[in-house]
Structure 1
């Protein structure tokens, strides 16, 4: 028994010894691995940066004719990535008045000025929300040892919003030139010198778009079974063709459809969604309908740091379909004024202003509009949009007077009543709601107002719906039930009395 116990003890000691040796070897291996991955940013940096998710301005390098050593594509990409990362970290620092990540992208000398600027802003209770939208760098010099690069970045388009005590005191968009010296340290490029040389106010190119031939007589469209999910798993081209033919036969000439920002992949637009959008546009062309495409549906952030992501999203969609024969106009955003209270009116308007510039820079042919939720907002950015669009769900007795006010303020642009309608829901949640006859009378009356004032129109909507996503009107049952019954065709596929007034025919 004693010998047996000694064998057990001996075995345990040997096992423990082997375990200790294994731990030591493992530790040494991990240390060796760490020491040999100095260029692996994800293990080195205090703040890992992922530009694809956060910051992707346009970058257009001048032809490479630098002095010094010729540069290969890998090194040039490394300079570009680290340079843009530095911009992003600096923007975050100025917004939050913190210094996290600065030391990873700026040398001791360069970061000293940044730290001083942050300290002054923090003391004065000033925060700066900023971004850059376009860069045009030129590589001036690349050292023989590959450790130093000199870059001139001309025509950097910058937007800044300055806040004091949380209140906006300045918004500016400018174009500037920068001289930058970068050093290769620890496997990536840090900014050594960062000098702003010239700056001027940003003035976008004025693009006059002809709207004389546009005469919208249309309707807002979602498939009956998939409202607010038109491009989802149940997407059906044959169904679209059937619906579009019905719309055309009703005497209408156009539809308004919606592109949801998240659903289409945000900055990295989903190719499958683009393919479905093309099918929908092809179906519209086949049935001789024109399409107003509303961008950024269900987007509501407007953060300045999001602007480059928003631009890449719109740029991809607009550039892909700007030559499609079905496109008649781009609607930047559906009812953005509903976000004024929560996101700040100035912030939302600045975002819209910038997005108009972006869309027009990509497509100089098709007009741009904004789908305001009420007629009073129709004058906002009136000099930037080509078509004035507003929605109206209020008392029809006040509409003529409101149109007169809008026409007086904007006498020379087409005006589109882009959404209007009335629900015929009358039930448990709304016992004194409107009837189908009330709905028909409403559409008869509003078509008379439209004709008398020479407006263009797009009604809401072709179908009644059986399901309404909570994101549309919230969870309250009386709101959801009301929203289900705006259509000219009921859930059984039967035309309601209002169908007679779906058009001006």
Structure 2
């Protein structure tokens, strides 16, 4: 028995010894591996610029060679990435008055000036919100030892706002030319020195794109079973084709559709979503329907640091479909004025302004508009858009006078009533308020007004919906239930009394 216990004890001691040796070997090997591996840059970056695409301005390179040693395309990409990341972390720093990330992209001497600016701004409760939208780069010198680069950035397009005590004191858009000296340190191309050589006020040279198709008799469209999710897993082009035939047979000639920002992939637009949108446009063209494409549905941030991502999104969609024969116009955003209270009118209108410039730069043929929620806001950016679009859900008795006032102020551009309608809902949450008869009378009267004044129109909407996503109006039943009953056709496919007035009196 004693011998047995000794053997057990000896075995336990041996196993413990082997376990300890194993732990020690693991720790030593891990340390050796760490010491023989370069630093993981993604872990060094406080801003996580490399993990998430947060800043994607338009970049072009001048391809005429450079003084000094030849440089590979791989290094060119590395220089570009680090150069843009330096811009980004500086923009974040000036917005937040913090130093996070500056050390990663600026040498000790160059970050001293940045820190002085941050300290001054913080003391005086001042912040700078800025971004760059375009860079035109020229590699002027690459040293023989591969450690130094001179980079020229011509006509960089910059937008900035300066705020004091959170109040706007200056807004400017400039085109500037810079020269940068970059040093390779610890695998980073860090900014060693920067000189602004010239700067000038940005001038918008966008051309006007007239609306050639003015006899608009249209409707806002979603498939009945998938409203606000038209391009999801349940996408069925045969259902859409049948609906377009119904729309055409009803005497309409155009539709308005919506492109959801996040669903389409934000800055990296998904190929499969573009393919679905193409099928919709192809089908509309086959049915002789013109299409107004509304961009940025379900987007409402407008943050200056988001602008470059938004522009890459719009750029991809507009570039892909600018020559499609079904396109009637680009609608930048649906009812952006509803975001004035939460996001600030200056922020929203500046975002819209630059988006108009971008779209017009890509598509020089199709007009651009904005879907304002009322006549009051419709004059905003009237000199920038090609078509003024407004929505009207107010008292029908005031429609004609509101339209004539708008027409008096905007004499040189088409004005489109882009959304209007009345719910037939008269249930528990709105008893005795709505009915199919009241809806039909509303459309009869409004069609009479539009015929009298030759108002181009696009009504809301073809079908009643069984479900309205909470992202649209929230989840309160007294808001969502009426929204379900704006259609000319019930969710089961029966034509409502209002269908008689879908296109004319």
TM-score (norm 2): 0.97
Query: Offset at 1:391?
Result: 0.4
Question: Contact 2:206–2:357 at 8 Å: present in 1 too?
Answer: no
Question: Contact 2:436–2:496 at 8 Å: present in 1 too?
Answer: yes
Aligned equivalents of 2:204, 2:365: Cα separation in 1: 16
C-alpha distance 32-186 of structure 1, shift in aligned 2 (>3 A): farther
Summarize deviations over 1:233-271 as a string: whole Å, max 9, x none. 111111111110111111110000000001111111111
State the partner residue of 1:475: 475
**Are 2:344 and 1:351 equivalent residues in the alignment?**
no
State the partner residue of 2:48: 48
For 1:157-172, list aligned pairs within 5 A: 157-172=157-172
> The residue matched to 1:425 in structure 2 has which SS?
coil
**Are 2:1 and 1:4 equivalent residues in the alignment?**
no
For 1:451-470, list aligned pairs within 5 A: 451-470=451-470
Question: Contact 1:38–1:187 at 8 Å: present in 2 too?
Answer: no
Query: Offset at 1:64?
Result: 4.3
Aligned equivalents of 1:30, 1:130: Cα separation in 2: 44
State the partner residue of 2:228: 228
Aligned equivalents of 1:37, 1:410: Cα separation in 2: 66
Query: Offset at 1:50?
Result: 2.8
Question: Contact 2:386–2:413 at 8 Å: present in 1 too?
Answer: yes
State the partner residue of 1:268: 268
- Superposition CA RMSD, Å: 1.4
Question: Contact 1:437–1:497 at 8 Å: present in 2 too?
Answer: yes
**Are 2:72 and 1:68 equivalent residues in the alignment?**
no
**Are 2:414 and 1:414 equivalent residues in the alignment?**
yes
Query: Offset at 1:188?
Result: 1.9
Aligned equivalents of 1:59, 1:52: Cα separation in 2: 18
Aligned equivalents of 1:19, 1:149: Cα separation in 2: 53
For 1:104-253, list aligned pairs within 5 A: 104-253=104-253
Aligned equivalents of 1:70, 1:109: Cα separation in 2: 28
Aligned equivalents of 1:426, 1:120: Cα separation in 2: 61
Aligned equivalents of 1:201, 1:486: Cα separation in 2: 47
Aligned equivalents of 2:19, 2:234: Cα separation in 1: 57
Aligned equivalents of 1:140, 1:51: Cα separation in 2: 30
State the partner residue of 1:489: 489
Question: Contact 1:180–1:195 at 8 Å: present in 2 too?
Answer: yes
Question: Contact 1:490–1:496 at 8 Å: present in 2 too?
Answer: yes
Query: Offset at 1:39?
Result: 4.7
Question: Contact 2:55–2:305 at 8 Å: present in 1 too?
Answer: yes
Query: Offset at 1:132?
Result: 0.8
> The residue matched to 1:375 in structure 2 has which SS?
coil
Question: Contact 2:426–2:435 at 8 Å: present in 1 too?
Answer: yes
Query: Offset at 1:145?
Result: 1.1
C-alpha distance 16-51 of structure 1, shift in aligned 2 (>3 A): closer
For 1:362-441, list aligned pairs within 5 A: 362-441=362-441
Query: Offset at 1:5?
Result: 3.5
Question: Contact 1:94–1:128 at 8 Å: present in 2 too?
Answer: yes
Aligned length: 505
Moved more, 45-54 or 289-298: 45-54
For 1:238-317, list aligned pairs within 5 A: 238-317=238-317
Query: Offset at 1:300?
Result: 0.5
Aligned equivalents of 1:378, 1:54: Cα separation in 2: 32
Moved more, 33-42 or 185-194: 33-42
Moved more, 350-359 or 21-30: 21-30
Question: Contact 1:58–1:133 at 8 Å: present in 2 too?
Answer: yes
> The residue matched to 2:183 in structure 1 has which SS?
strand
Aligned equivalents of 1:346, 1:56: Cα separation in 2: 23
Question: Contact 2:69–2:143 at 8 Å: present in 1 too?
Answer: yes
Query: Offset at 1:52?
Result: 5.0
Aligned equivalents of 2:204, 2:325: Cα separation in 1: 27
C-alpha distance 196-5 of structure 1, shift in aligned 2 (>3 A): farther
C-alpha distance 47-437 of structure 1, shift in aligned 2 (>3 A): closer
Query: Offset at 1:504?
Result: 2.3
Aligned equivalents of 1:152, 1:37: Cα separation in 2: 34
Aligned equivalents of 1:189, 1:29: Cα separation in 2: 31
